[in-house]
Each structure stands twice: as C-alpha cells, then as structure tokens.
Amino acid sequence: MSFANLKKQSSLGSLTQKLVKEVEKMNNTSPGADERYWRLECDKAQNGYAVIRFLPAPDGEDMPFVKMYSHAFQAKGGWYIENSLTTIGGKDPVSEFNSELWNNGTDAGKEQARKQKRKLTYIANIYVVKDPANPQNEGGVFLFKFGKKIFDKIMSAMQPEFEDEEAINPFDFWEGASFKLKAKNVAGYRNYDSSEFDRVKPLNDDDEVLEALWKKEYSLAELVAADQFKDYETLKKRLNVVLGLDAPSRRAAPQEDTEDENIEEQIRSSRPAFKKEETSYSDSSDFNSPDITPSTPAADDDTDDALSYFQQLADG
C-alpha cells in the first residue's frame, strides 16, 4: 500500500472500520478456543436465533450426549475453574468441602456452599441447519454444550406431558426434528424458553449423506474419559490455594501464579454479565448434598454462558 492510498483510506474512515471489525472478531474468538464446538452468537441486545439438529450417538458409543459437572468460583486466592471428578463417579475435593460447609449448621457455611456448587453442562453432536450470524457454519457437524433448560426441552419431546402429543427422538436422523434455538434477555439472564422443536422430518433423504455426517461426529466418551480430568490431589491443592487453606505462614500467591493455566475449553467464549445466583435448597434431599443442582433461573438457562462470564472475570 502506498502512502497516498494510506492517506486516502484514512479520509474515508475505512481503516477505522476495518480495525473495529477485527477487534470484534478477536473479542468473539478466544485464544485457543476449541473449533469443534459451536456456540450461538447473539446481538448486543442478547437476542439470538439458529436452527440445529441433534445427532445420534457416534459410532461405537451408546449415548448421544454426555454430562459434565464443573466448578467456577472466586475466593481470596483467585479463581477455581475446574471440571469435577463427580462427573466420572469419583470423589471431588470441592464436593467434600461443600458438604462440610453445609453440615456445619451456619448460614455462612451454607451460603458459601451455594456459591461453590457444581454446574451441570450437557454436550452433544449437532448439525447446523441455519446460523444467520455465522452462515459458514451451516452444513457442519459440531459439538454443542448446553444447560438444563435446553435438556429439559429434549426430555419433554421424548416424554410429552399430554396424550395428544407424539413422542419423538430428537437425536434420530429419520424420525427426529430440527431444534429452533431462540435466545433472549429476560431480567438479565440468557433465556431459551421460546426455543422449540420443528415438525418431524428426516435430516436428509439420502442415507449416504446421513452416513457421511454420522462419520464426522466427534467422540463424546472421550470428553468424559478419566484422563481428561485432573487428579484429586492436584484439585485439592488448587482448592487450598484459592480458599486460602494453606498454612497461615504462607502468603497467597500473586494473581499471575494462581490463575488456572488449563482453563476448560467450554468456558472460553465471551458473554455479558449475569446476576448473582439466588439458590434455595428447599428440597430436603439437597441439605446433605449441596452439589445437587437446584432449580435456579440463572443456572438452568445456560450454565455454559455463566461459566464463560466467570472466566471473563478471571482473565480480566
């Protein structure tokens, strides 16, 4: 580019416009983000729309989805953002500590346990039918992380409440249905209540095309394999640092030393702030199990978005 062209572009404001677009692109794509995962992109008003299709279990696997438990909270020693060993049926230091807090009989202990409770996320393979914000994703196979609200809609489709509603298998190529994902901002929360399944229809009439898509699916079992989780002692050590439970003579490590160096891939995206959760363990079964996820608007609507926000704070 010549100096004359540089000056001309400056007068037209084209460089400024280009810089703004590049910055927006950088903000929407976190360094090291896992490109296997698809995320719904929303506008500034936090409205978003896309059409996706949940896919069958990958070849050699039994389930079309897996669930992941994780913890994301901040204390005086920094942020604790880790997957929970309870996902694979193991003992987890945060769950054990939360049980102690809940059973100590104090309101402060119960409040801390609520703040540190585990978050539930589901992961499935999807086919992107329509993505207005990112049309280049259309026709692609991705992994999709979603919370309890969307999972409940899947279960409602499989087990309808009323007799005049026909049960469907949302994960079926032939007897499934596309899912119209609709996001909006309700009282400061990401809300998916308007999302719904379309009518039953084969994803494609050509079995060869469907088989090709099936072979593109990502393994779900690998995501929750034991080697994907940090061991108990490593998590315990990290928890002690974050909560300041080390020996009194030790000072809390500087922020750059306490930041998690292996932030989980599912919490890399950028999202707006969420209100503080207000959790009430009204079910007696929760009193001795503070990590059982209660029905909470903030947690149910999109746990992954909440975790993304926590990571923003940790990185900021």
Boundaries of every domain in the chain: 32-316
What the block records as the tokens of 202 is 């084969």
Could you tell me which of 160, 170, 150, 159 has the C-alpha nearest to residue 64? 170
What the block records as the tokens of 16 is 């400024």
Residue-level pLDDT at 178: 98
Could you tell me which of 120, 122, 171 has the C-alpha nearest to residue 144? 122
Q: How far apart are CA 87 and CA 135, in angstroms?
A: 34
- Write the single-letter amino acid at 94: V
Specify whether the CB–CB gap between 310 and 72 falls below 8 A. Answer: yes
Beta carbons within 10 angstroms of residue 294's beta carbon:
16
For the stretch 280-302, pLDDT in tens is 332 223 334 445 433 333 334 45
Q: How far apart are CA 96 and CA 259, in angstroms?
A: 22
In CATH, the number for domain 32-316 is: 3.90.198.10
For the stretch 200-243, pLDDT in tens is 999 999 999 999 999 999 999 999 999 999 999 999 999 999 99
Query: Angle at CA 263, nearest 5°, toward 260 and 267?
Result: 135
> How far from chain centre, in Å, is Cα 261?
19
